[in-house]
């Protein structure tokens, strides 16, 4: 990957020549320059929030949770006390494995300033101590149908209008939970609630700038003060425990062994509303290990994460058409690399350039071989459905990146700087207008004060890029109930 340093030892009686700079063999780029470019990208990509911005983030989060509490009260379908998983980054950023071809294109800076993904359980199966066995007879690997036979009659009665019905020869009726019908119900319910909220606007309440159904997710963009926040809300089925189909994965050695406990890794999983390439959209769900991935991120070095974020920014732009590779594929490759390479190597702080080049090489290798195993279910090849023409087209595009990584990094830096400029310009406009701020209603005892803003700023500063798990009771949305990794607030 990189040319070794020239020998520092000179011959006897001759002057010692200075060592050559470390070079990338393929492109000739100086590794030191690539490291500096990755650091510059990271500096612009990681936003620092002042007290006002932190309070706006909190206000938007509370608005979303209050809205979901009202959705639950509409028809009592959602669990009364629900546990959400809030992830930093939208679905388009690859935080969950959902197909991107059905999603409208949103751009940071143009459409939003910050993005989040919120997994909202429509159903919960939380009383299982044994490995969870799913009905995978009709599905591709890593996918499953879900029969409501696993639930009580009350649950079946609530949700049967969101099911497909299969009648058996023996006269029995089976209700299969439909991801598309659940998404339709969720969008309609959210639209009703938002319509009611907007009839009686309150001072400091976020402005709903956009509500769209993107495939099976609902995208909401909120304006709070001078900030715009994108929430991709995903209806899911939540399980405690671990799926039987991924049981063999636990028997292997992994990079996180000894760093976090197995109990933390296998505490739960989800079914997300996404089907396989040839699957039946109305019935098929995709297994998601987002909760486990939050834990695994704790064991990944900052230099590797910086390389991953820079590589992701490059491929999102470069490989957007046709839609075949998503950032989630790159995330999977990074996890495999963590298993494959020594921890001492991956922990090197000045190796971000090596990691970036390695991720590009890995992605190109996966494309050429049309093989990208799911990290948790390796027998599932996430690229199996792609045509030869598509994989070769993307492999050739990646070859151009590999030939000049510095130039593509500079382009990624310019994109993120341009997005930041747009955000700052909108903030300046907001500060000169009478846009109500969450702090402007100082006499309201229910409004958070400066201490909360400072606390939130501290959380954001101390936990860059981390995911937040949230427990909320819709009957009591006045108090924050959120957790960053294993810390509660």
Structure tokens that stand for 38 in this block: 């990755």
The answer to whether residue 331 is domain-embedded is yes
The answer to whether residue 328 is domain-embedded is yes
pLDDT per residue over 5-41, tens digit each?
444 444 444 556 557 789 989 899 999 999 999 999 9
Rg (CA), the chain: 24
Q: 214-223, 348-357, 475-484: which has the minimum mean pLDDT?
A: 475-484
Q: What is the mean pLDDT of residues 73-93?
A: 92
DSSP characters for 342-397? -HHHHT-TT-HHHHHHHHHHHHHHHHHTT--B-SSSTT-BTTTT--HHHHHHHHHH
CATH of the domain at 110: 3.30.460.90
The vertex-109 CA angle with 105 and 115, nearest 5°, equals 65
The answer to whether residue 486 is domain-embedded is no
* Distance (Å, whole) CA 333 – CA 23: 24
Give, in order, the Cα–Cα distances in Å from 385 to each of 95, 250, 289, 391.
21, 27, 21, 10
The answer to whether residue 454 is domain-embedded is no
Range of the domain at 122: 33-417
DSSP reduced 3-state for 191? helix
Report yes or no: 12 and 365 within 8 Å, Cβ to Cβ: no
The answer to whether residue 443 is domain-embedded is no
Residue for token pair 């700087």? 417
The answer to whether residue 428 is domain-embedded is no
Q: Would you state the pLDDT for residue 171?
A: 63
Number of domains in the chain: 1
Q: Which residues of 231-268 are buried (b: 16+ CB within 10 A; e: fewer)?
A: bbbbbbbbbbbbbebbeebeeeebbbeeebeeebbbeb
pLDDT per residue over 122-166, tens digit each?
999 876 556 778 888 888 999 999 999 888 888 899 999 999 998
Q: What is the mean pLDDT of residues 301-319?
A: 93
Q: Would you state the pLDDT for residue 127?
A: 61
Q: Would you state the pLDDT for residue 464?
A: 52
* Distance (Å, whole) CA 35 – CA 282: 47
Q: Would you state the pLDDT for residue 324?
A: 81
The answer to whether residue 138 is domain-embedded is yes
Report yes or no: 15 and 4 within 8 Å, Cβ to Cβ: no
């Amino acid at each position: 990957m990189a040319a070794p340093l020239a020998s520092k030892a000179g011959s006897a009686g001759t002057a010692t020549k200075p060592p050559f700079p470390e070079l990338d063999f393929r492109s000739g780029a100086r590794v030191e320059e690539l490291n500096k470019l990755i650091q510059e990208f990271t500096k612009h990509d990681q936003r620092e929030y002042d007290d006002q911005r932190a309070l706006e983030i909190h206000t938007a989060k509370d608005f979303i949770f209050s809205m979901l509490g009202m959705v639950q009260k509409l028809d009592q379908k959602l669990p009364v006390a629900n546990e959400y998983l809030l992830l930093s980054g939208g679905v388009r950023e690859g935080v969950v494995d959902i197909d991107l071809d059905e999603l409208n294109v949103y751009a940071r800076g143009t459409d939003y300033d910050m993005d989040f993904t919120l997994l909202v359980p429509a159903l919960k199966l939380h009383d299982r101590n044994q490995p969870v066995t799913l009905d995978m007879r009709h599905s591709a690997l890593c996918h499953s149908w879900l029969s409501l036979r696993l639930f009580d009659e009350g649950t079946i009665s609530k949700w049967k209008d969101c099911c497909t019905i299969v009648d058996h020869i023996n006269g029995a009726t089976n209700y299969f939970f439909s991801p598309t019908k659940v998404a339709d119900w969720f969008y309609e319910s959210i639209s009703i609630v938002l319509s009611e909220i907007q009839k009686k606007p309150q001072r400091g309440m976020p402005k709903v700038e956009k509500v769209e159904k993107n495939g099976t997710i609902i995208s909401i963009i909120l304006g709070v003060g001078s900030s715009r926040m994108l929430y991709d809300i995903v209806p899911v089925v939540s399980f405690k425990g671990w799926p039987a189909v991924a049981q063999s994965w636990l028997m292997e050695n992994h990079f996180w062994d000894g760093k976090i406990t197995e109990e933390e890794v296998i505490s739960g999983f989800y079914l997300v509303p996404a089907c396989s390439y040839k699957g039946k959209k109305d019935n098929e769900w995709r297994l998601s290990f987002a909760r486990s991935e939050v834990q695994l991120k704790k064991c990944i070095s900052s230099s590797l994460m910086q390389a991953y974020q820079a590589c992701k920014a490059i491929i999102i732009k470069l490989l957007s058409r046709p839609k075949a590779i998503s950032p989630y594929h790159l995330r999977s490759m990074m996890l495999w690399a963590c298993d494959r390479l020594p921890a001492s190597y991956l922990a090197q702080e000045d190796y971000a350039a090596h990691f970036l080049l390695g991720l590009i090489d890995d992605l190109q290798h996966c494309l050429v071989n049309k093989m990208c195993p799911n990290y948790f279910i390796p027998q599932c090849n996430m690229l199996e459905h792609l045509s030869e023409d598509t994989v070769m087209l993307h492999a050739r595009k990646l070859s151009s990146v590999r030939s000049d990584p510095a130039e593509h990094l500079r382009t990624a830096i310019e994109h993120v700087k341009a997005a930041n400029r747009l955000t700052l310009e909108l903030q300046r406009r907001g500060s000169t207008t009478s846009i109500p701020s969450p702090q402007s209603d100082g006499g309201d005892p229910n409004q958070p004060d400066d201490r909360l803003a400072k606390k939130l700023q501290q959380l954001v500063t101390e936990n860059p890029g981390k995911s937040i798990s949230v427990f909320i009771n819709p009957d009591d949305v006045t108090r924050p109930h959120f957790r960053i990794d294993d810390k509660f607030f």
